[in-house]
């Protein structure tokens, strides 16, 4: 069945969902987006995603042509149009149609489109057996050049690192900052479990303030486990008791091998498993209802 796509205020068939070749989102990666999940007929943490969308748009001086209330309803309506109860939502706002120059003033109106579909980022076996990852030679974009905290359409830095993982035959890769600290993975945040605490890179090192990342920090606090945001290098990863990744699409997924080195016992650790169970219980009951 053809998907229904929200495009500039209308719900159109997938085959008719088209943007101009002069759209600056296409020509220059000038735009912002959010990846959002729906579980059990609810859109998880929709308000937090919209806040990040507006923050990213404000950072690049892009005026979103809908109010937050209208955008919320557009997301829910797109889910309803596709009879979605569990799935993935991609919300995109581009600078809009302009000319072949860079000047954003030549784009009179932004383009907004929303896709709601099913997703399976990793096979289920990876959640049970864990991921093998490598360290990428491509360094994370420096925050003083382009702040990775802005969730923009310019993802070439991540894609270059992803190409390395594809060529290495592994599903994910760790990206380091320009001075050698662990930043994040090509599409996920990273957590390292030590003896009595958990550590994740701070956002200023060059990683995204992930929505799922924050959910995990909150869940750890409820468990009475300290979650630190601190700088660390690869040695901390290699010697960790457990390593796991988080992301909207990935959720929480264990890492068992990094650069050929086994992590902990080489299998999903008890804390990672406990977090996965707590996360899955949370997302089944929390969120903006799609169907009243």
The residues annotated with a catalytic role in the active site are: 151
Report the 10 Å Cβ neighbour count for 159: 12
Angle between helix 211-222 and helix 270-283 axes, rounded to 10 deg: 110
C-alpha gyration radius of the chain = 19
Q: How many residues does the chain have?
A: 292
Buried b (16+ CB within 10 A) or exposed e, 174-196: bbbbeeebbbbbbbbbbbbbeee
Contact assessment for residue 126 and residue 253, using Cβ atoms and an 8 Å cutoff: yes
Distance (Å, whole) CA 11 – CA 91: 14
SS3 174: strand
Instruction: Extract the tokens encoding 209.
Output: 């303030």
Distance (Å, whole) CA 90 – CA 103: 26
Distance (Å, whole) CA 129 – CA 263: 12
CB within 8 A of 31, min separation 6: which ones? 24, 25, 62, 92, 93, 94, 95, 110, 111, 152, 153
Instruction: Extract the tokens encoding 68.
Output: 């937050």
């Amino acid at each position: 069945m053809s998907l229904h796509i929200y495009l500039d205020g209308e719900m159109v068939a997938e085959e008719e969902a088209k943007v101009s070749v002069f759209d600056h989102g296409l020509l220059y990666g000038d735009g912002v987006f959010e990846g959002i999940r729906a579980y059990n007929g609810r859109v998880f943490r929709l308000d937090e995603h919209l806040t990040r969308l507006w923050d990213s748009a404000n950072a690049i001086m892009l005026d979103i042509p809908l109010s937050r209330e209208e955008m919320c309803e557009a997301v829910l309506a797109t889910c309803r149009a596709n009879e979605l109860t569990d799935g993935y939502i991609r919300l995109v706002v581009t600078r809009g149609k302009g000319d072949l120059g860079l000047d954003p003033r030549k784009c009179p109106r932004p383009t907004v489109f929303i896709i709601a579909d099913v997703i399976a980022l990793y096979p289920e076996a990876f959640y049970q057996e864990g991921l093998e990852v490598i360290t990428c030679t491509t360094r994370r974009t420096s925050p003083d050049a382009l702040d990775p905290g802005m969730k923009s359409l310019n993802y070439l830095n991540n894609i270059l690192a992803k190409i390395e993982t594809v060529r290495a035959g592994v599903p994910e890769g760790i990206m380091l900052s320009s001075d050698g600290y662990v930043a994040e993975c090509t599409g996920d945040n990273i957590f390292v479990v030590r003896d009595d605490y958990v550590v994740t890179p701070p956002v200023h090192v060059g990683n995204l303030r992930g929505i799922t990342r924050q959910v995990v920090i909150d869940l750890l606090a409820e468990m009475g486990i300290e979650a630190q945001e601190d700088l660390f290098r690869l040695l901390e990863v290699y010697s960790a008791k457990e390593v796991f990744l988080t992301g909207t699409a990935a959720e929480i997924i264990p890492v068992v091998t990094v650069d050929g080195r086994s992590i902990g016992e080489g299998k999903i650790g008890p804390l990672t498993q406990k977090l996965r169970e707590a996360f899955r219980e949370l997302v089944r009951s929390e969120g903006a209802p799609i169907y009243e």
